[in-house]
Structure 1
Amino acid sequence: MGEIEYLVGIDFELNMSSLIQSDLIEVIEFPGVCYSIKKDTIVSQFHSYVQPVFSPYLTDICKKITKIRQQDVDEAPEFPQVLDQYNKWLVSIGLVDPQTYEKTCNWHFATVTSFDLQDYLTNQLLNYEIKKRYAYWDSWIDIQKLFQNFYQNKQSKSLERMVDFLKIDKGSNRFHSGIGDSIYTIKIAQKLIKKGFNITNNDCYHFEPTKKWIKFVGKEEYLNDKQNKEQKNKKKKKQKPKIIITEFDQTLDDELRSFGYY
């Protein structure tokens, strides 16, 4: 494949019990921002909260940092359903073939660090026993590394510090929002491209299947308890999943303004 045509910004938000290290790590927000490099335009956006099931109650630190409410995740679909809708979204915007589920053009996910796709996604697949991992999930562009290479700065830069360094207007935006951080990831990539950084396939990081993964604490207890709860809740009507897909035909600056970033 030739030049990279699209970047899909992705930044999971997590339910966690500690900022340092935790066995309790579950995805609770699953965003996607598809950006056309050639058109300098966000062409589509995906957003869904995810209902955590192994540790269903959001921790205090999670609610404080992400501002996600317990109600948001209680009404959300579980991870397998959101992942399926996400894959279908990639098909619907022409990045993935509906028959083979292979890339139709040269595009990559854009992340800040490799944790989202190397670790967090893998943990989810492992704990839900989802064996099919499409190949396009196995490579990504780490925008943080591009930033360090471009400015020859080996010091780790957080998303917020990169935004400040590049003088990206924040407006009323807060960080630690999955969809907001995904847009900022794309905005940083856009700035680097305009400053002359040529993003290529050589900048990709690739999934390492030999690493050890975290299994959720209490998984077996959850699975045993789930069967009992399902019997009690058979007659309960589940609310329609809140999955939002938005198509765009506007510049990146216009998109940020529409979300209150300027």
Structure 2
Amino acid sequence: MVRYKFLVIDLEATCNQPPQPDWDPEITEIIGAVILDSRLNQISEFQEFVKPVVNPQLSPFCLDLLKITQDDVDNADTFPEVYSQMLAWMRSSGLLIEDKNFILVTDGVFDCNQWLQHQCKLSEIEYPRWANSFSNIKKHFMYAVRTRKSDRSSFTINAMTKRLGIEMDGQLHRALDDAKIIVKIMKGIRGKRPEFAFSTNERFNRKWTLKFF
């Protein structure tokens, strides 16, 4: 019997304002990651900063948005090293990397399609097969509460928690805190739909074009 069911992740990346189309976003915080069993009980968690290589100096906008310091990333390992640490943590927690025995859960499509895909290209490592399919909590939220925006845009974490009556805690745009809020949203959905499965509802888009806001 598989003990672990869900791997909830959130990634944060370097950013600039105003947006620059030639900017290379790099992951700065990997991963707010939480492993849950099928009843959404937390089993383990992982969080590490990542040292950017292309643009090592974080912009004032990025530092303020993520509420981190330059020292946080200067003293961190680079992405390949931290990613290896994460894989070791996943394996030690009972997740099977090659023969996937868990559902990956994210807040939308950007973590996999944009941040992780681009970082793998920059670091010249293979995009992980275990992230080829994932569970988009935004889609599940709209289905579970039977709601949709008139402009068909997705719901933010703040909007989902407000609709579900969930108290926001932690620091928004910090990876582990955001991952734990996603877990709260999952529990809020289960409160309305006790048997909700959070099955895979997205596929990795290899042809994704970087988007800047």
TM tier relative to shorter chain:
0.7 to 0.9
Decide which of 184, 193, 208 is 1:211's aligned counterpart.
208
Q: One-letter code of the match for 1:199? A: A
The structure 1 segments of at least 4 consecutive aligned residues displaced by more than 6 Å after TM superposition are none
Decide which of 116, 123, 138 is 1:128's aligned counterpart.
123
TM-score when normalising by structure 1:
0.72
Q: CA deviation at 1:157?
A: 1.2
* Equivalent in the alignment of 2:70: 70
Taking the aligned partners of 1:19 and 1:180, their CA distance within structure 2 comes to 26
* Equivalent in the alignment of 2:108: 113
Is residue 170 from structure 1 mapped to residue 164 from structure 2 by the alignment?
no
Cα 1:19–1:185 shift into 2, 3 Å: farther
* Equivalent in the alignment of 2:148: 154
Larger Rg: 1
Q: CA deviation at 1:162?
A: 1.1
Secondary structure at 2:186 match in 1: helix
Taking the aligned partners of 1:128 and 1:145, their CA distance within structure 2 comes to 30
Secondary structure at 1:12 match in 2: strand
- Contact 2:51/2:79 (8 A) holds in 1: yes
Cα 1:166–1:200 shift into 2, 3 Å: closer
Taking the aligned partners of 1:154 and 1:4, their CA distance within structure 2 comes to 34
Taking the aligned partners of 2:110 and 2:50, their CA distance within structure 1 comes to 18
Q: Which runs of 5+ in 2 are unaligned?
A: none
Alignment of 1:139-150 (within 5 A): 139-150=133-144
Taking the aligned partners of 1:160 and 1:25, their CA distance within structure 2 comes to 24
TM-score when normalising by structure 2:
0.87
Query: Percent identity among equivalent residues?
Result: 25
Taking the aligned partners of 2:183 and 2:10, their CA distance within structure 1 comes to 11
Taking the aligned partners of 1:21 and 1:168, their CA distance within structure 2 comes to 35
* Equivalent in the alignment of 1:29: 29
Q: CA deviation at 1:204?
A: 2.3
Q: CA deviation at 1:186?
A: 1.1
Q: CA deviation at 1:17?
A: 0.6
Alignment of 1:1-262 (within 5 A): 6-18=5-17, 22=21, 23-31=23-31, 32-38=33-39, 40-96=40-96, 101-103=98-100, 105=101, 107-130=102-125, 132-155=126-149, 156-171=154-169, 173-196=170-193, 198-201=196-199, 203-212=200-209
Q: CA deviation at 1:167?
A: 1.8
Cα 1:3–1:188 shift into 2, 3 Å: farther
What whole-Å deviation, never above 9, does each CA across 1:139-168 have from its counterpart, x for those lacking one? 111101111112222222101121122122
Taking the aligned partners of 1:72 and 1:42, their CA distance within structure 2 comes to 26
Q: CA deviation at 1:26?
A: 1.1
- Contact 1:13/1:28 (8 A) holds in 2: yes
Q: Which runs of 5+ in 1 are unaligned?
A: 215-262
Cα 1:86–1:18 shift into 2, 3 Å: same
Taking the aligned partners of 1:119 and 1:19, their CA distance within structure 2 comes to 19
Q: CA deviation at 1:102?
A: 2.4
- Contact 1:9/1:110 (8 A) holds in 2: yes
